[in-house]
Structure 1
Amino acid sequence: MAGALIIVTAFLTAFLSGILGMAGGLILMGALALLLPVSAAFVTHGILQLVANGWRAVVHREFVDWAILRNYAVASFVAAAVVSLIGFTPSRPLLFLLLGLVPMLVWLPRHWVRLDAARTPHALLSGFLVTSLNLTAGVAGPLLDIFFLRTALTRHQIVATKAATQVFSHLAKIIVFGAPLLGSDTAGMPPAWMFLIAIPVSMIGTMCGGWVLDRISDVNFKRWTAIVVTIIGGFYLAKAAQAWM
Structure 2
Amino acid sequence: MSIFTALAFLVVVFLTSALSGIFGMAGGLILLWFLLLALPATVAIAVHGVIQLCANASRAWLSRRYIDFRIVAIIASGGALAAVLLALVDYTPNTATVSILIGLMPLLVWVPKVWFHFDASRTSHAFCCGLVAGGLTIASGVSGPTIDIFFIRTHMDRRQVVATKAAVQVIAHAIKIVFYLSAALTLSTGQWGLILLAIPFAILGTRSGNAILRRLTDARFRYWTRWIVTAIGAFYFVQGVVLLSNMA
Into which bin does the TM-score normalised by the smaller protein fall?
Answer: over 0.9
For residue 137 of structure 2, the aligned residue among 134, 137, 150 is 134
Question: What is the match of residue 216 of structure 2?
Answer: 216
Query: How many angstroms apart in 2 are the aligned matches of 1:189 and 1:235?
Result: 32
For residue 31 of structure 2, the aligned residue among 25, 28, 34 is 28
1:204–1:100 Cα change, 3 Å? same
Name the % identity.
40
Question: What is the match of residue 62 of structure 1?
Answer: 65
Q: Number of residues paired by the alignment?
A: 242
Residues 47, 184 of structure 2: 8 Å contact kept: no
Question: What is the match of residue 109 of structure 2?
Answer: 106
Question: What is the match of residue 237 of structure 2?
Answer: 237
Query: How many angstroms apart in 2 are the aligned matches of 1:146 and 1:188?
Result: 39
Question: What is the match of residue 227 of structure 1?
Answer: 227
1:191 partner SS: helix
Q: How far apart are 1:128 and its partner, in Å?
A: 1.0
Per-residue CA distance 1:199-245 (angstroms, 9 max, x = gap): 00000000000010000100000010000000001111221222224
Query: How many angstroms apart in 2 are the aligned matches of 1:141 and 1:189?
Result: 31
Question: What is the match of residue 162 of structure 1?
Answer: 165
Query: How many angstroms apart in 2 are the aligned matches of 1:15 and 1:178?
Result: 27
1:190–1:95 Cα change, 3 Å? farther
Residues 26, 232 of structure 1: 8 Å contact kept: yes
Q: Which moved more, 1:26-35 or 1:206-215?
A: 26-35
1:134–1:128 Cα change, 3 Å? same
Residues 36, 188 of structure 1: 8 Å contact kept: no
2:120 partner SS: coil
Residues 49, 170 of structure 1: 8 Å contact kept: yes
Q: How far apart are 1:4 and its partner, in Å?
A: 2.6
Query: How many angstroms apart in 2 are the aligned matches of 1:189 and 1:47?
Result: 15
Give the counterpart letter for 1:221 in structure 2. F
| Alpha-carbon RMSD | 1.5
Q: Which moved more, 1:84-93 or 1:168-177?
A: 84-93
Q: How far apart are 1:106 and its partner, in Å?
A: 0.9
For residue 11 of structure 1, the aligned residue among 3, 10, 14 is 14
Are 1:82 and 2:79 counterparts?
no
Question: What is the match of residue 204 of structure 1?
Answer: 204
Q: How far apart are 1:180 and its partner, in Å?
A: 5.0
Q: How far apart are 1:188 and its partner, in Å?
A: 7.2
Question: What is the match of residue 117 of structure 1?
Answer: 120
TM-score by structure 2 length?
Answer: 0.93
Query: How many angstroms apart in 1 are the aligned matches of 2:220 and 2:169?
Result: 23
Q: How far apart are 1:193 and its partner, in Å?
A: 2.1
Residues 54, 167 of structure 1: 8 Å contact kept: yes
2:180 partner SS: helix
Segments of structure 1 that go 5 or more residues without pairing to the other structure are none
TM-score by structure 1 length?
Answer: 0.94
Query: How many angstroms apart in 1 are the aligned matches of 2:30 and 2:238?
Result: 14
